[in-house]
Amino acid sequence: MEGAALETVQGWLREARHIAVLTGAGISAESGVPTFRDAQTGYWAQFRAEDMATEEGFRAHPARVWGWYQHRRQMLADVQPNAGHRALADCAQKHPGRITLITQNVDGLHQRAGSAEVLCLHGDLMEDRFLDLPRPCCHPDTVKAGSPPHCPRCGNLLRPGVVWFGEPLPWAVLEAAQQAARGCDLMLVVGTAGAVYPAAGLAHSARAAGARVVVVNTAPSELDYVAHAVLRGRAAQVLPALFGADSLR
Ligand code: APR
């Protein structure tokens, strides 16, 4: 990370009345949560997204997919938010209304770091919902244990409350994120490969609406060409450096 670039971006942050932050799996990497697309360590180096992150994959092998999500849930119990999550939460607390935090992550680490009102584009790993439209017999309190748990009367399966490939994003959340992207003066794009839409499209929207766009990533991303500046480095180091000494003042 070059000092001059950091100072330039700090200047832009000071000038910005409204800042949108879009985060991806990279911000949680230093908490010990695997990313998806990093070579070797990413989930999609081990598994096929079609198998583990689509409705078709779940219907074909519900026990296998449920087991993988259970494993990821258990792993979250052992990890903590890192300095990157905390820098964003602290800054938002000091400057209410100035930052809108939008995340593709389902790990809840932004919220655990103290960020309120996080726009979670891809749902919440810790939530469950029924796979098929719930009938009157389907009640979360009466599900029969199993892998996955299911309604004892009709067999409707529980599934994780995340957004799978091919599924729509929660409408109101996406709408709020798009408004923030179109209305911000600066968008920080942190730890995302920028390969999944509509999330990645938010950076394009921000740029098209006249905002400055800054990418923070350890490696090249598909959104680097949209950015006015790229800060090459780890989120847990770059974000505290950016927001340290209250650079928004
Ligand atoms: N700091 C900053 N960036 C990092 C760090 C780090 N410590 N470690 C890794 N990265 C970067 C990688 O270089 C990569 O560009 O984080 C990015 C992670 O990319 P992905 O694994 O593709 O994660 P993400 O962009 O969040 O994926 C989007 O894809 O599979 C779906 O639904 C899933 O929400 C996810 C979506």
Domains observed in the chain: 3-32+81-122+169-243 (3.40.50.1220), 34-78+130-162 (3.30.1600)
Taking CA atoms only, the protein residue closest to ligand 1 atom 8 is: 26
Give the binding-site residues of ligand 1, using a 6 Å CB cut-off: 24-26, 29-30, 35-38, 42, 49, 53, 104, 122, 191-193, 195-196, 216-219, 221, 234-235
139 has catalytic annotation: no
Report which of 83, 90, 85, 81 is spatially closest to residue 31, judged by C-alpha positions.
81
Show the tokens assigned to 30.
């230093």
Taking the whole predicted model, whether its pTM rises above 0.85 is answered as yes
Catalytic residue, from 71, 85, 95, 122: name it. Answer: 122
- Integer Cα distance of 157 and 146 in angstroms: 10
Q: What is the pLDDT of residue 175?
A: 98
- Integer Cα distance of 6 and 28 in angstroms: 21
Instruction: Give the tens place of pLDDT for each residue, 25-77.
Output: 999 999 999 999 998 899 999 999 999 999 999 999 999 999 999 999 999 99
pLDDT confidence band for 244 (50 / 70 / 90): confident
Report which of 221, 218, 189, 216 is spatially closest to residue 205, judged by C-alpha positions.
189
Q: What is the pLDDT of residue 8?
A: 96
